[in-house]
Chain A
């Protein structure tokens, strides 16, 4: 591979941070004035107009030609959320350390029907996340402490105990979780975490199951009252 496309979160300079804080303050003031995140806020965002890959792209030098569209505020909420979904643990890095926010941006910015459908859920969902954080804790989602973030997530992340009225945010969370996992487990860190040992060209015949894998399968199958035949 001559290059990879993993994009990292843009470096945020001091001026940008100040602008963002000013925006956060404005949102806080809106919330304080009694604005709520109603049904209308889930309306679809502006559609994408960029070019797709075309039907004959260079497969050896892959590139996504469409411009990225998430705002800095949306990217910060994304980063906080994907790291809540897959935080660092042991040797495994957090989602944002392996480019997941940039992937989400690439995904929702892509000019294809599936991605546009997801965009119509994710862009308002990120706004909901900030509005909910401000309503509950007076700060945007990314500025909440871990416990406050989890308090919001706990209302929308578990299929068996969703908080009534939060069906749409729950749908948003499920989509973000699926995309975060898809992005994460395709990285080297994800392969390592899951144990995928493949994509390794070898010579000679295919090695087949290890002795340990065969012994395990034999015990498993015989434990089910079945005959094990190796071959």
Chain B
């Protein structure tokens, strides 16, 4: 076993996505020497094909098994299936696990939707008796959200909505103007008391540092080399490097946390992919932010003294409480939108507006048959014509051209993003019968939705059909039972919860500062520590929680407590 060069380090951070990069940023700025280990290859944001055109890509950029989100998607060596790094799914379950193997992880291609969790989201058990409360409140988190949003750069508006908190003064970037089709939805929504309001996304609309503001073109999923759309490879990682305190090792697949004789974490073991050799990296504190699935996998595969339950798992909660966002769709063709004046609707290449959950009062009063909320991400407009979506046409020649022009910009897509409540049937564990190409035991996922989620899908479908009906839209999506319309577990790529934080050591894996109850100098700063999966996209919360935890670690490092 070889010990990594350049040590010893104050902190070993596993992962370079939202949770890991924020930890590295906060710790290096506090003066700590940090080693960041990333399983994938190094990635330069200049690789992003920002202005390449679909027509220049193989198959006009269509998704393939090699590049499931399209040729130009930023994801490197990843996707739903990775031949060298399989995972298992239990019989009777369905689960999809999106991974990437690159510096910056999934932050290089995410949608940048950034909705804060609110007071109800941190205390869901108190509100409806389901799931568990977080050991922290929204009021405690609010300043961390403010700091995170200010650092990241989030556009949006303060609207004073119930459980959709405002940001502090001067925190948000100006939101881009709503487009005509969004104003159309807003008018229809107003008639049904469904709010259509400015969305929040981690995209700069004004210049705040060396990053450039959005130039209103280029799909964000390709990666954003100008730094407008937030990703750790244009921000936190280079900023951490600039302190001189960060060492980054790529191609380093961590599989185990090492303990010293006193039971403290002494570092991690990893496989250097290029050479295949097993190595050790040591530090005073270990921070796992390898992603919800991989962090649970590392803990479960770390078996000090042959303890088969894994590390930091005296509660038995590691791998349990796996949650994803509830997804379903309604789409419609709106004849009223035919022939409207064409102008550039690319905008920020994503949400300018959305529908926040608007029925908290009805829910609290017991007038709804589902306990947790959802928001609706809306799509439409004069987008760049893609290679797909031409199935519904008829005939040929001049009439066909006419149909295309008539329908352009008249389609609306409404996408549900809802809260899932943790359940006994949804978890991951080590598959005792299977190892990946590197010889590391793989995860096996079990997953099931409950009636709570299915009823929420039905509500969304009914509400959105009513909205489309009021606007004269003709539904183009299927009307079916919610079991058929709901997304597959993991498909929304918001998986969280496999090592939740909590008030008590026997019911949770970490304390309120992301520190594992069992190992005093082992911290988890990715989505694994989530106690609930609010309908809000998790990345901005992962960033804020990691910032808070890392500040705590930095203090303890400085005082010599660890």
Contacts and interface: CB of A to CB of B under 8 A. Distances in A.
Contact of A195 (B57, B386, B394, B405): B405
Interface string B524-542: 0000000000000000000
Interface string A159-201: 1100000000000001001110111011100110111111111
B176 interface: yes
A14 interface: no
Contacts of A158: 394-395
B385 A185 contact: yes
B125 interface: no
B249 interface: no
B90 interface: no
B59 interface: yes
B191 interface: yes
Given A210-B343, A220-B340, A178 B65 contact: no
A158 B56 CA distance: 32
A63 B58 contact: yes
B438 interface: no
A45 B530 CA distance: 51
B262 interface: no
Contact of B386 (A59, A63, A103, A186): A186
A13 interface: no
A115 B59 contact: yes
Interface size class of A (residues with CB under 8 A): 35 or more
A231 interface: yes
Interface in B50-95: 51-60, 62, 64-67, 71-72, 74, 76-79, 82
Contact of A206 (B57, B77, B347): B347
B341 A59 contact: no
A158 to B, nearest CB: 6
A53 B67 contact: yes
Nearest to B72: A59
B336 A220 contact: yes
Interface string A86-118: 110100100000000001001100101111000
A209 interface: yes
Contact of B183 (A57, A89, A103, A221): A221
B396 A207 contact: no
A193, A206, A213, A228: residue with the most chain B Cβ atoms closer than 10 Å: A206
Contacts of B391: 174, 178
Interface residues of B, number: 81
B165 interface: no
Contacts of B176: 205-206, 208
A87 to B, nearest CB: 6
Interface string B182-218: 0110111011000000000000010000000011111
Given A85-B397, A206-B177, A213-B341, A182 B184 contact: no
Contact of A202 (B215, B383, B387): B215
A197 B346 CA distance: 9
Contacts of A186: 53-55, 60, 385-387
A43 interface: no
Interface string B340-373: 1111111110000000000000000000000000
A1 B394 CA distance: 35
A4 B55 contact: yes
B275 interface: no
Contacts of A143: none
A59 B52 CA distance: 8
Contacts of B394: 157-160
A181 B65 contact: no
Given A5-B56, A56-B76, A183-B60, A197 B382 contact: yes
Nearest to B387: A182
A58 to B, nearest CB: 8
Given A89-B398, A181-B393, A226-B187, A198 B217 contact: yes
Contacts of A12: none
Contact of A6 (B49, B55, B180, B340): B55
Nearest to A185: B385
A107 B61 CA distance: 11
B341 A210 contact: yes
Given A157-B395, A205-B176, A89 B187 contact: no
B71 A92 contact: no
B151 interface: no
Contacts, number: 240
A112 B341 CA distance: 39
Given A106-B58, A115-B59, A182 B390 contact: yes
The prevalent SS among residues of B at the interface is loop
Nearest to B188: A226
Contacts of A53: 58, 64, 66-67, 71
Contacts of A106: 58-59
A6 B57 CA distance: 10
A153 interface: yes
A59 B342 contact: no
A197 B409 CA distance: 12
A83 B507 CA distance: 67
A60 B384 CA distance: 19
B52 A60 contact: yes
Given A89-B401, A226-B191, A59 B48 contact: yes
Nearest to B472: A224
A196 B382 contact: yes
B384 A198 contact: yes
Contacts of A206: 176-177, 205, 214, 216, 347-348
A182 B386 contact: yes
Given A103-B60, A224-B472, A208 B177 contact: yes
Nearest to A210: B343
A174 to B, nearest CB: 7
B56 A4 contact: yes
A177 B400 contact: yes
A214 interface: yes
A198 B345 contact: yes
Interface in A48-66: 52-57, 59-60, 62-64
Contacts of B188: 226
Interface in A19-52: 52
Given A181-B404, A194-B385, A201-B216, A56 B77 contact: yes
A145 interface: no
Interface of B: 41, 47-49, 51-60, 62, 64-67, 71-72, 74, 76-79, 82, 174, 176-180, 183-184, 186-188, 190-191, 205, 214-218, 222, 336, 340-348, 382-391, 393-398, 400-401, 404-405, 408, 470-472
Q: Which 3 pairs, one residue from A and one from B, show the smallest C-beta to C-beta distance?
A: A208-B177, A182-B387, A64-B58
Given A196-B383, A202-B216, 9 more contacts: A1-B52, A86-B400, A157-B395, A182-B387, A186-B53, A195-B382, A213-B341, A228-B183, A229-B190
30 contacts: A4-B56, A52-B64, A55-B79, A59-B74, A62-B57, A62-B72, A63-B58, A85-B400, A112-B64, A114-B64, A177-B400, A178-B388, A178-B393, A181-B390, A181-B393, A186-B385, A195-B342, A196-B385, A198-B344, A198-B384, A199-B384, A207-B344, A212-B343, A213-B343, A214-B180, A217-B340, A220-B340, A226-B187, A230-B183, A231-B177
